[in-house]
Chains A and B, each alone.
Chain A
């Protein structure tokens, strides 16, 4: 039942709107307008320099959905997510549990693991590009191998995924540490009296009570991984033979929209990605009830 607002409440609401206004303005100008414009452009054959857009109906969609490269890129993106999300989370969780204990040099370790987050992604990618280099790379030189880490289509996607995991661990870890510190110590005390410590306590107390944090990380990381672009773009040369098996859908979007100047086709690719992410998010939201343990 909706009740009528009192005068005082109305006055309060007016102030609230005033305070929210700057944020709303930013959202409208920077998010909503581009969003609807992208939808519009996906139905256009766009002209040069944003002029002379011609409506062509579903032509772009027909091309995007019938080309094999679209589906290959979408599959590449999913493969990247399959590596980055689970490994990034499991490793981060283990580190968070270890670094939540009272061990010597804890802060130093935490800082070290968080450091990749502080580096500019482009710089990270450049360093990894040379680590992976077949001729001069540190990896091949240390292990005396000649593995084509980023040129062999069979392993290049894993190599890229590893960079993703390495970059994200620190961030996930900090979120997990935050979650861990919210679990009251009483539970562990009670459990230890009952004889449950160590691994059993981890699976029976830590994991369930941490599930809201875990779910949050899973959801944001899936979306983050599906929009990956910079790693492929920086690490792999345009003429790399493995590129078609690694390039993400956002990479494909960049290629069409900015390199080839076909904004309409690029917009359509983005719409496909949006639809895909919406489906995934919908499924996750449905699953939340069954996965997340609420205290």
Chain B
């Protein structure tokens, strides 16, 4: 009897574990199936990586389905696996019909003829005029060697400073304003970190991985460039960039230690009320808008660097990174006309406005993002749109294989050393020199 019981227990456990395996494999085969969308079943398979945007985009896609009669299935695959899956699909000739492209790898996909060339379609399409979109995003999906367009701008994003009013109130520190310099951030962070020591509250939190949404911006404020405009070099080791990173170092001295932000994450620290300020991108608004204490949260424009010392923000002293996703189609899709039609619809003025009004993202088309600022009732997110009206934008630094140097900069031998020794200016300067070499070597290997 006992033995039977054991057998039964073990069998149950086995079945459970099989079910667990089955569960994971069916979900992965689910996404794999999405890779084989070009089966001509009349349904378009669309892959994206941001779950926050699914509902809004599906709504827009359904409107297109009403016009075209072709169904659209949107699959969400998380960021890391998205690229592994897309690359595997590309190698095996089984890509989704329509999907997002990103600056990290766009050139590589275009050069290998994996994306549908959109030139002829755009020429015939009255709804699309490339002049209406952000130049940087259009250029990004334009192949260098033949000048063809392979994706249309879906959106663009900017960066702003997020702060927790409750913490500022608690320690009687004045709220950040749009006139703040990075020195002001440092001073406020110092006050909060000192006063909040007993409660484990930090004035500021930033990790080495907060690049586009963090330290890249400071480098540009001070006149350095992470990747030069021709995408062939960097000035991250220059005196200007070093001045920017030295400013950041002074903030790091009072910010949450690197081991803390690496384990807990800056967003979690902020949402737990343990960090007073972080910088974040417009794609993250939803996360904070839906957070438990969102009433305490407010956004300000990114601080500027008063490089010329005249006490006001002049041209070239306030930068925000911007980036834009592109809607692309697979070169071998079974239904290229429908795929383009869907892309064109997503990028049309009507859908772009809708995308902004639904609070999905700001548009890839210029001048339609006012609605976005109004999409979050009770939270003022105009800092993101003002960043481009009052400050300047630089396109998120990218090269042909961005990940190689982008990852290396975040780790030992890159800026991690400086994050771990924030009290030593020499370590930060050395990290800038190392970064210069890392990027140059990576570009040479591309």
Contacts and interface: CB of A to CB of B under 8 A. Distances in A.
Interface of A: 48-51, 102, 106-107, 110-111, 114-115, 117-120, 132-136, 148, 150-152, 174, 237-241, 243-244, 255, 258-261
Interface stretch (B168-176, B178-186, B409-417): B409-417
Nearest to A243: B411
9 contacts: A49-B112, A110-B6, A114-B9, A120-B20, A133-B264, A151-B262, A244-B411, A259-B407, A261-B403
Contact of A239 (B23, B91, B111, B410): B410
Given A135-B200, A151-B263, A244-B412, A239 B207 contact: yes
Contacts of A259: 403, 407
Contacts of B403: 259-261
A114 B410 CA distance: 39
Contacts of B260: 134-135
B33 interface: no
B346 to A, nearest CB: 26
Given A49-B114, A50-B91, A114-B13, A260 B264 contact: no
A125 to B, nearest CB: 14
Interface string B194-230: 0000001000000111000000000000000000000
A110 B272 contact: no
Interface string B410-446: 1110001000100000000000000000000000000
A243 to B, nearest CB: 7
Given A48-B108, A117-B13, A261-B401, A107 B90 contact: no
Contact of A114 (B10, B87, B111, B274): B10
Nearest to B400: A48
A151 B112 contact: no
Q: Summarize B's interface: helix, strand, loop or mixed.
A: helix
Most chain A beta carbons < 10 A, residue from B5, B90, B259: B259
B209 A239 contact: yes
Nearest to B105: A261
Interface residues of B, number: 43
A116 to B, nearest CB: 10
The 4 A-B residue pairs with the shortest CB-CB distance, nearest first, are A151-B259, A50-B91, A118-B17, A49-B91
Interface string B77-89: 0000000100100
Most chain A beta carbons < 10 A, residue from B6, B207, B262: B262
Interface in B262-281: 262-265, 269, 272, 274
Interface in B1-50: 2, 5-6, 9-10, 13, 16-17, 20, 23-24
B9 A111 contact: yes
A99 B260 CA distance: 42
A256 to B, nearest CB: 9
B2 A118 contact: no
B94 interface: no
A110 B23 CA distance: 24
A239 B13 contact: no
Given A51-B112, A118-B17, A239-B410, 13 more contacts: A106-B2, A106-B6, A107-B5, A120-B20, A120-B24, A132-B263, A151-B259, A174-B10, A240-B262, A241-B258, A241-B259, A243-B412, A261-B404
Contacts of A240: 259, 262-263
Given A107-B5, A135-B274, A136-B272, A49 B24 contact: no
Nearest to A181: B3
A143 B174 CA distance: 38
Most chain B beta carbons < 10 A, residue from A111, A114, A119, A239: A239
Nearest to A47: B112
B223 to A, nearest CB: 26
A49 B90 CA distance: 6
